[in-house]
Structure 1
Amino acid sequence: MARGRFISLEGGEGVGKSTQLAALEEALRRRGFDVLVTREPGGSEGAEAIRRLLLEGEEGRWNARAEALLFAAARSDHVAKTIKPALAAGRWVLSDRFLDSSLAYQGEAGGLGIEAVRDLHRFGSEDFLPDRTLVLSLDAGEGRARARHRDGDEGDRIGGRPPSYHAAVERGFRLMADAEPERVKLVDASGNAETVTARLIAALGDLLQ
């Protein structure tokens, strides 16, 4: 049985990830692929427990290092118990966030350094990477306006951080795209949902052949 493919969908706040995740799942199923949709933090029993620790509570609940360690621990469980078994069974795995979110949020925006956070992933998940990472990208002002409309005031404890933090997140994603252009593709998230989905499919073109 051929190994499946692992696709992660990334982006900052308000870029339309939830909408595009559902649309991409449908598009892949129409092409005959068996698709598993999962998320980070989460995607396995242990990782979902850690998700609650990470996203609930006051802003200062964890310092940056503790937060990065929790994300890495959740990812390790997710990879071992959900992602790798699905790929071995020939399924396509579509994840709402993966490693590159940690690199952008904790590494770049959180000030820990991208390589320091990557080292946690090398230990926890043996540097396991997606076949393709699609990063939805919007003008920062438009993204934050969408996020406020979606979440009301604050959203979760990470989404509610100041604009300077989210600008650094966007910078982090762009750094990853520059460093690994074959794996990480920036996708323009402006325009209507159907147009954005078509851009995502185009960015997967070589894997769909």
Structure 2
Amino acid sequence: MKRSLIALALALATPACAAERMVLAPAPAADAPLVGGALQKAVFAGGCFWGIEGVFERVKGVKSVVSGYAGGAKSTAVYEIIGTGMTGHAEAVEVTWDPAIVSYGTLLRVFFSVAHDPTQLNFQGPDSGTQYRTAIFARSAEQDRIAKAYVGQLAKAGTWKPKIVTTFEGAKPFYPAEDYHQNYLRAHPTQPYIAINDIPKVEALKKLFPALWSEKPAG
């Protein structure tokens, strides 16, 4: 449980994602073109959902970001149960975006560059367990194709060492987390866990992707 005293102590001792550790990933070679139409959804998992939500809600074209759970059953999509690491869920975010403004490939680039470390297997910084794995839950065949092509591109380029361990888990259902998890970073920007592990991710987004930065968060 990331709010335990042990996790908090680890967070204070070893920052998970200091801004200087962010990696600017190359633009995806395969991507969907910007085109008008209905809003689209994507689901990403990469450690604590507070920080990932905080990053994506600042991307231009993103309309909403919901923290939640993916990869397990509806009956066990409860924070305290998921914390056992035995339900199959991953903490995840559901991103709703305008495909005329930002592409799925660009969202992937942000996800790999600043939202999390894709080389950490079943943990992110001070948080450990399968619920903190790095995973993509593609909502369509096109998303699956683009995501797999991009990870292959990154692996070939050697952008990260050791290797990327992100899993592709298909369109498994997404369940919104409890209300108190939503907009958590904005509500608690000075909490030690947030200030050390997650605020640097948001700052890195602004620094590495100034053209994508939105002064007003989504939602």
Tell me the TM-score normalised to structure 1 length.
0.30
